[in-house]
Each structure stands twice: as C-alpha cells, then as structure tokens.
Chains A and B, each alone.
Chain A
C-alpha cells in the first residue's frame, strides 16, 4: 500500500522560499503516475499547486507558476516543492498525493504539513 509523508519547515518569514519533500513508500515513483501537491489555507478549500510525472514533466497552477518549482528524485523515491517569495497568503496545510491511477483522481494522500508564513 502506497504511503506518502511530507516534510519541511513549519515556519517561514515573508519573502523566504518554502521547500517541502514528499517521501513515497510502498510504490516506486519510477513505475509511473503523477504526483501532486495540494494546499489548504486555514478554514478554506483545497487548491491544486502542481503535479509531476516520474519523467519530470510538470503541470503547475498558473497562479503560482512564476514562483513554483516541482521536482522528482526517483533514486530517493521522493518529489519536492519549492515556492519562492512566500507571503502570509501561502500559509496553509500542504499535502502531497498520488494522481491518475487509471481513471482515478488523487487516490492516496500524505497526512499534510502545516506551513505558517509570519514575520
């Protein structure tokens, strides 16, 4: 059974770069499917940040694209998110998830990690 686990700093200052990693176990990223990042600001709905395929092909939310880098490291079976120039609006729970197993959407999720941007 696939498991995903997010890791990274929980507190950032405005203008810093958010870096998160999602470690995948129970499934080899190299075997396929897309891997995605989703976030949820406190008390609000979910927002797709971006997806990456094991080959490195990415889809990024246009609203974040200029600040966003998503990468994959198949040797470590993990993928990563970097979001530059953060502001308080980037405060959210960040989830990683697997996408696109057959006709499925996001079928396996990490537990999420809270990131707060505050001076």
Chain B
C-alpha cells in the first residue's frame, strides 16, 4: 500500500495567517492526490482533487500543489471556519490511502 504521511500533525495558527500542510507519499502517485476537510462528528468535505483543482464552492484561499511524492495544501488567509482537520488521499493505486490528518487549531 502507498503510505501517506502528513506534517505537521497539529498546527496552531491565527485568523489571517497563511498556512501550509505537507503530504508525502511513499511512492509516486502522479497527480492523483485529493484533500479533505473534516470537522468533529462530520463526514470529510472534499476540497481539492487532482492535486490542485478546487471542488465547486471551495473558497479560492485554498490551493494545492505538487506531483509525484510531495504535495502541499495552502490556505492563504485563515478564516474562523477553517479550523478543522485536513487529510490527503492518494487515488493512483488501490487501496486508496489517506494521510493521518493535520489538525489546524487556534
């Protein structure tokens, strides 16, 4: 299985900050990398697919980049609603695998 490792596990930030979360794959996943946002007790919300494409309705302050094994999710200016857990997922090889999550907290 492709192992997905996120860093950091926890990130403390403030409203208005620019933050970056990193996701590293144990082998190349090409561009087949998605990002999700999850709040407690809720299903994951899709944010980005194919490394850098925003899902419909996702604010433009979210962006993704990378290819191969190294990927990043950037939030350009944190808003109060952005404090949540973020996880990456590779869907290049089955079983599709997720990172362990990065908790973004105030």
Q: Which residues of A contact B (CB under 8 A)?
A: 44-48, 51, 59, 61-63, 95, 99, 103-112
**Secondary structure type dominating chain A contacts:** loop
Known A107-B49, A107-B55, A109-B44; 12 more pairs at CB < 8 Å? A45-B87, A45-B100, A46-B98, A62-B95, A63-B95, A103-B53, A104-B46, A105-B96, A106-B34, A109-B45, A111-B43, A112-B43
3 shortest interchain CB distances as A-B pairs: A105-B34, A109-B43, A46-B98
Given contacts A105-B89, A107-B55, contact A45 B99 (CB under 8 A): yes
Question: Is there an interface contact between A105 and B46, defined as CB atoms closer than 8 Å?
Answer: yes
Per-residue contact bits, chain B 21-57, to A (CB 8 Å; 1 contact, 0 not): 0000000000010101000001111100110010100
Tell me the complex Cα distance, A104–B36, Å: 12
Given contacts A45-B100, A46-B89, contact A107 B46 (CB under 8 A): yes
Question: Is there an interface contact between A45 and B46, defined as CB atoms closer than 8 Å?
Answer: no
Question: Is there an interface contact between B50 and A103, defined as CB atoms closer than 8 Å?
Answer: yes
Report B-chain residues with C-beta under 8 Å of the C-beta of A44: 100
**Secondary structure type dominating chain B contacts:** loop
Per-residue contact bits, chain B 78-100, to A (CB 8 Å; 1 contact, 0 not): 00000000010101001111111
Report B-chain residues with C-beta under 8 Å of the C-beta of A63: 95
Q: Which of B46, B89, B94 contacts A59 (CB 8 A)?
A: B94
Tell me the complex Cα distance, A106–B45, Å: 9
**Interchain Cβ contacts under 8 Å between A and B, 9 examples:** A46-B44, A46-B89, A48-B96, A104-B50, A104-B55, A105-B49, A105-B96, A107-B55, A109-B46
Tell me the complex Cα distance, A51–B95, Å: 9
Report A-chain residues with C-beta under 8 Å of the C-beta of B87: 45-46
Question: Is there an interface contact between B44 and A106, defined as CB atoms closer than 8 Å?
Answer: yes
Question: Is there an interface contact between A61 and B89, defined as CB atoms closer than 8 Å?
Answer: no
Interface positions, chain B 47-71, Cβ under 8 Å from A, are: 49-50, 53, 55
Report B-chain residues with C-beta under 8 Å of the C-beta of A106: 34, 36, 44, 46, 89
Give B100 Cβ to nearest chain A Cβ, in Å: 5
